[in-house]
Amino acid sequence: MSNVINEYIQLTELAFSDPIITSAQKNPFIETLSEADRLTRAECFNDGYDLLMQLEENENLSALERGMVEGTFGYAFINAQRYEEAIDKYKLAIVYFSSVDENDKNIALSHNVTALHGITVALDRLGKNAEAIEILINELSTDDLSEYAKLMYTSSICNRIIRSCSHLQKEPTSAILVT
């Protein structure tokens, strides 16, 4: 169990680390991607979209970088409530993450989990909670899934089931004693 926890901690730290701060030198790709993300979160969708389009047109990007661009597009579309487009972008990101170089496998794994989560969030917002759960269950049945991904997907399934059953809770009733 400690290996699972250690892997989870390492991948979580990696997912939440600031690549600009942790890199020895500034990376123009990461700076542009971060700025596009910041703009779309600040509801400046068109400006963020334009930056992402510029990145997407760069033919020199690695598969990991292309996946990161598409994943950021997906998140931007979720923020803009354009859920079908978000799903398409997250699916494209997953394709790119599955074709990364061996050196990028661990970071791609973390981004892949995030992209799949984005798909399920978009499905939830479209009222397709059952489809989101089905996707997660299918992912859990794959053979080469990391312990981190298993934990994230299982947690996501449980949260979705709890939310979908929350409407079934009855209001507390008070008993009236008649004597």
Contact (CB, 8 A) for 128 and 108: no
- What's the average model confidence in pLDDT over 104-133? 93
Task: Work out the pLDDT band at 73, boundaries 50, 70, 90.
Answer: very high
Burial of residue 104 (CB within 10 Å: 0-12, 13-18, 19+) is middle
Half-sphere exposure of 127 (CA within 13 A, CB side): 0
Residue with tokens 């730290």: 13
Residue 128: both structure tokens together: 């397709």
Predicted local confidence at residue 145, as pLDDT: 85
Average pLDDT, the chain: 84
Task: Work out the pLDDT band at 7, boundaries 50, 70, 90.
Answer: low
Predicted local confidence at residue 86, as pLDDT: 97
Closest residue by Cα to residue 83 from 137, 50, 128? 128
Task: Work out the pLDDT band at 131, boundaries 50, 70, 90.
Answer: very high
Q: Is the per-residue pLDDT at 160 higher than 50?
A: yes
Residue 176 or 85, more confident: 85
- What's the average model confidence in pLDDT over 105-127? 93
Domains of the chain: 2-168 (1.25.40.10)
Residue 50 or 26, more confident: 50
Predicted local confidence at residue 52, as pLDDT: 94
Backbone conformation region of residue 126, classed left if phi is above 0, alpha if psi is from -120 to 50, else beta: alpha
Task: Work out the pLDDT band at 26, boundaries 50, 70, 90.
Answer: confident
Residue 173 or 24, more confident: 173
- Helices marked H in 42-170: 45-56, 63-79, 83-97, 105-125, 129-140, 147-165
Predicted local confidence at residue 146, as pLDDT: 85
Task: Work out the pLDDT band at 24, boundaries 50, 70, 90.
Answer: very low
